[in-house]
Chain A
């Protein structure tokens, strides 16, 4: 039961993020939506390794818990988060350039200006 709630939560985050990405009218909001979506994906990945009632996957002297949460997805998620942060930073940097060039971050206006420049 808990599993289903958690999974649907992760999926919902992804869906919300993607919906935001697709539908937002402001480019910065698109980036934020992307952040949400990535969080959702990371959460999904974490859940893949989650074991209910499992302990932290660290073996110390004396205690070797039998049921551990799977550490591999956690490692993956770390990597994914870092990648995500890097990409988001790049995105924002590009947005700064876009704002400098077109003066606006409204998606429709920027797209229109872009089309104009591409077809010249």
Chain B
């Protein structure tokens, strides 16, 4: 049963490739078109079911992580897929977000590319091999280039091109980083490499980390390589923005965190992450404020805001204590929900109920109790204080200042919305797609509001995830010794 894990990557890819011939076959008929529209979502629903089945098999992944060998090749020669609570969380996040945010367009190329996005991001979350992650990352990148180029905006092609250049720049660096790591160790398997590090045989140079960081950091909106963010968010539709900002960026962060935890567990690496995180946080929030002051577009402000939030996430993850992982994951999940909700609300003029929803998201973003954002910020501050150090205290001060700046531009946006005529009425405006987006925003809002009442259990779950993730020994033992060979009858 656990062999089916690989279907999470294969099925969406297969679906993507099948869409073209299917559209030739079915495209002419009305019913056929309906099938095509929902094909992508159906595939994801199937993969979600498979995820559930694999995760609850036996003791369940919540107890013991699962490592599956590809093609029966033994680690470290072969590639393994690693499913633990952490990757399970992100798998579920990807699939559920895709299901919610799946666009309603007639253009099957969008559906096709999104299936590729699904396959590659799930592959990234699952894979235990460094180069394999790189390949999936590139696949994801190419799919997003296509999606951006298809955006209904005149500047889409050139924006996509610029994004491509920046992303390719990152890929070159990442490849160089992989080369360094391989040359020092001869292996590409994360668990195997981690074993080298732990045994004291090798310490991979900081330069390798920086190269990989910058390479994968492009998608994660890392400071220095996030010039693409405001441009891209300015052209793509709200749902795509929500997907990019909410989900895809997080997967890139997740990959960076895994690599850092396993391969670079020394303070210089975390400090580099901290510094870049601080820079991203400050840059993002300040420029968001600047944009809002100048009366710029809401999507631009939200773009810079997401840069700022991701900077905060990096700061959180830079503490590789368990608390840091907890805060980082919580912050990432929170941002996923809130940013998606905000992007859903960005497309139209809002009436007073929708503006109230906007206010809800904004308040959670800046951390007003009793919303979940407050608890996460409390944990983050405690985390920073506990680590001590001058840089961390500077991070606290800047973090709080950034929050005030956030409050400032969010309130500016809200008060601008309040004077628009749409605000007075309770009627729904906008076209059908915008209205659907607004309904989705309600979904996110309910999720956020409901989380208030489940703070304790949520915190415990996330804490459990953090503890398991930090446990490198567990990963190594599972992968190196207990990997499951799908071809043989049982374990290796």
Contacts and interface: CB of A to CB of B under 8 A. Distances in A.
B121 to A, nearest CB: 17
A79 B135 contact: yes
B158 A45 contact: no
A73 B157 contact: no
Contacts of A72: 182, 188
Interface string A53-68: 0000000000000000
A47 B179 contact: yes
Interface residues of A, number: 41
Contacts of A21: 165, 169
Contacts of A42: 175
Interface in A25-52: 27, 30-31, 34, 37-38, 40-42, 44-45, 47-49
B235 interface: yes
A5 interface: no
A64 to B, nearest CB: 18
Contacts of A73: 179, 182
Interface string A86-98: 1100110011011
Contact of B164 (A38, A80, A91, A97): A91
Interface string B394-423: 000000000000000000000000000000
Interface residues of B, number: 37
B175 A45 contact: yes
Contacts of A87: 138, 141-142, 145, 164, 168, 171
Contacts of B296: 119
Contacts of A91: 161, 164-165, 168
What does DSSP make chain B's interface, helix, strand, loop or mixed? helix
A17 B172 CA distance: 10
B270 interface: no
Contacts of A70: 186
Contacts of B231: 114, 118
The CB with the most chain B CB atoms within 10 A, among A44, A94, A102, A119, is that of A94
A30 B165 contact: yes
A18 B172 contact: yes
Interface in A82-120: 83, 86-87, 90-91, 94-95, 97-98, 101-102, 110, 113-114, 117-119
Contact of A45 (B154, B161, B164, B178): B178
Contacts of A76: 131, 178, 182, 188
A69 interface: no
B467 interface: no
Given A94-B161, A114-B155, A117-B155, A41 B172 contact: yes
Interface in B165-217: 165, 168-169, 171-172, 175-176, 178-180, 182-183, 186, 188
B159 interface: yes
Contacts of A27: 161
Nearest to A101: B157
Given A41-B175, A94-B160, A118 B135 contact: no
B176 A44 contact: yes
B149 interface: yes
Closest 4 CB pairs of A and B: A48-B183, A97-B157, A41-B175, A117-B155
8 contacts: A37-B172, A44-B175, A44-B179, A47-B183, A48-B180, A72-B188, A76-B131, A87-B141
